[in-house]
Amino acid sequence: MTASTGFEILAICTGNICRSPAMDLLLAHDLAGADGRFAVSSAGTHAMTGWPVNPPMDELLEAHGVDVGGFAARQAAAELLTGAGLILTATREHRAWVTDHAPSTVRRAFTLTEFADAVRAADPSTLTPAGLVEWAAAHRPPAGVVSRSRSTRRGYAEGDVLDPYGLGDAAYEAAFAQIAAATEVIAAALLATKG
């Protein structure tokens, strides 16, 4: 984190054209009134570098009042990961990829839904943004609980944001709804932090 960019938040999915752009752009939109306290961006574990937000995710974002112009997918790199104060991933598999490529991020990397669930129980008004991340890490379910989570279709764990890429509009709408609900909770918690 630097004074010029604010507390850095990085969203991660696979191609960086559907889920992580939605996480990035919705969260940035919800945090827009925070006077530069937060800087949100995204990247992919296997990015389709240079691509824009994939349709119909771009249309869903624009209908929500989010500008997708100028977005270009990029590859996650170790320096990008280590520079983030909070990393939000679409799935547990992405979180494992992040911590494998940048082990120092283990207490700052969460799935989107995991972090949203954790901050619901926090009192962010007593914490800085970094303190909220530390609090969430301390209140994360034990590893055994996570590994026993119920699997859903296509091998995703419960709480993961399913990849809508190549699927119909309904899959994009479901992923968007799941992301929007979580980013709203996370933005409210971050805005309530001190600093």
Nearest C-alpha neighbor of 113 from the set 160, 155, 153, 62: 160
CA pair distance 58, 69, nearest whole angstrom: 9
Examine residue 26 and state whether it is found in any structural domain, yes or no: yes
- From the list 120, 123, 148, 169, the catalytic residue is 123
Residue-wise pLDDT for 74-108, tens only, equals 999 999 999 999 999 999 999 999 999 999 999 99
Examine residue 2 and state whether it is found in any structural domain, yes or no: no
E strands in 81-123? 86-89, 109-111
Structure tokens at 116: 């949203």
**Between residues 150 and 165, the one the model is more confident about:** 165
User: What are the angstrom distances between the C-alpha of 96 and each of 18, 21, 82, 109, 160?
Assistant: 19, 19, 14, 9, 13
Is 161 a residue whose pLDDT tops 60?
yes
CA pair distance 40, 166, nearest whole angstrom: 26
Q: Provide, rounded to the nearest whole percent, the portion of the chain with pLDDT above 70.
A: 88
Examine residue 1 and state whether it is found in any structural domain, yes or no: no
pLDDT band with cut points at 50, 70 and 90 for residue 24: very high
Q: Say if residue 129 is preceded by a cis peptide, omega within 30 of 0.
A: no
Quote the domain boundaries for residue 85. 7-192
- Catalytic (active site) residue 108: no
Residue owning tokens 């992580």: 20
Residue-wise pLDDT for 29-39, tens only, equals 999 887 889 99
Is 1 a residue whose pLDDT tops 70?
no
Residue-wise pLDDT for 32-78, tens only, equals 887 889 999 999 999 999 999 999 999 999 999 999 999 999 999 99
- From the list 13, 92, 108, 163, the catalytic residue is 13
User: What are the angstrom distances between the C-alpha of 61 and each of 1, 13, 89, 117, 144?
Assistant: 27, 17, 18, 23, 36
User: What are the angstrom distances between the C-alpha of 17 and each of 75, 128, 180?
Assistant: 11, 31, 16
Residue 85 · residue 7 · CB < 8 Å: yes
- Catalytic (active site) residue 18: no
pLDDT band with cut points at 50, 70 and 90 for residue 150: very low
Examine residue 87 and state whether it is found in any structural domain, yes or no: yes
Over residues 6-17, mean pLDDT: 96
CATH at 165: 3.40.50.2300
> What confidence score (pLDDT) does residue 167 get?
87
Over residues 20-28, mean pLDDT: 96
pLDDT band with cut points at 50, 70 and 90 for residue 141: low
Examine residue 20 and state whether it is found in any structural domain, yes or no: yes
Q: How many domains does the chain have?
A: 1
Examine residue 159 and state whether it is found in any structural domain, yes or no: yes
